Amino acid sequence: MRLFILSWICLIIFTVYCQYSFISNLNCDSVIREHLKLQNINSMHKTHFLNDTSVPKLKTYLLIMIMTTYNNSDLREVIRNTWLKLSNRGKNVFQYRFPIGTKNMNSIIKDSLRKENNIYNDLIFLSDVYEDYQMLTLKTASTFKYAHEHFDFQYLLKVDSDSFVRLGSLIKSLKDLNHPRLYWGFLDGRAKPFRKGKWKEVDWILCDRYLPYQLGGGYVLSSSLVSYIATNLPLLKMYKSEDVAVGAWLGGLDIKYLHDPRFDTEYLSRGCNNEYIITHKQDKEMLQKLYNNILKTGKLCEKEYQTRLSYIYDFSVDPSLCCVRKNGSNIP
């Protein structure tokens, strides 16, 4: 402030001097330009200071990250108008986002996504991530990093866009669980690494099985685990399968593994059961149908059925023996 006042005093003195001086070589315009330059510098300092002010994190109980691609605008619209409406709790209870990789994306697609985001304000643009199925592990890790940096949350649900979520039931169950290091989903400990095909894991050398991991159709992490992944991201190996990678990253930590058959999140759906909290591999028509069922009857399924057996994870045996599917069981 003192510098600002002093600069104006100098300007007045020099202006008066210029007007009444007989010294012909004094250039008044140059003095004024120097004063304006000083004002611009002061303005730049003020702007820089304002930009340095940290933006407060958005606070919520449950943060939902729905993994979708740039060309799934119609699917995002269905999700917004179906299961995301199953809870009327405010943003302090849950918020959701659709992460999308935008690295090397053409301007036409970017413009289309910006227009969509101007309407809904629910897209996340990950500028360092290619939007490619083979890059899903990096996209998931980058999503966790974004969540860690921009949100203050207790739990994060990572869910695929072809999954249906009974949102109210999920939130209620989380409140009951209330664990600070929770890793919740449908757990597998006996899967063998792929050694050929598109899921070939050339870098997997830890053992002859994958470490126990929650299957990728949908799983929940507490904020402390998301923060761990986000802050250690440069050190983490990017395995081919994102769910396998998350299980490996968390393998040595003191966490709560919770296996829940109500997570129908395998690579194939096990059918329809009214106890399901999440059910995977649903197309747009099925997402709408399941939502309509809940509105009409309060139940997920028009009729319950099972196409493949489920299991209860046995923590008392070696992981390779963990997961026995039993005929005649009523496990969801």
**pLDDT, tens digit, 9 for 90 and up, residues 130-160:** 999 889 999 999 999 999 999 999 999 999 9
Question: Across residues 39-62, what is the average pLDDT?
Answer: 58
Residue 44 above 80 pLDDT? no
Average pLDDT, the chain: 88
Model confidence at 60, in pLDDT bands (50, 70, 90)?
Answer: very high
Instruction: Give the whole-angstrom CA distance, residue 184 versus residue 228.
Output: 16
Cβ neighbours, 10 Å, residue 178: 10
Mean pLDDT value of segment 281-296: 98
Gap between the Cα atoms of 221 and 110, Å rounded: 30
Q: So what's the pLDDT on residue 327?
A: 84
Q: Which of 281, 270, 267 is nearest to 330 (CA)?
A: 270
Residues 6+ apart with CB under 8 A from 115: none
One of 3.30.70, 3.40.50, 2.60.40, 3.90.550 is the CATH number of 59-321, namely 3.90.550
> Is the per-residue pLDDT at 280 higher than 60?
yes
- Closest among 91, 86, 272 to 172, alpha carbons compared: 86
Task: Give domain limits for the chain.
Answer: 59-321
Threshold 0.85, pTM exceeds: no
pLDDT at 32 over 50: no
Over range 157-177, report the average pLDDT: 98
Name which residue leads in pLDDT, 198 or 130: 130
Which pLDDT does position 329 carry in this prediction? 84
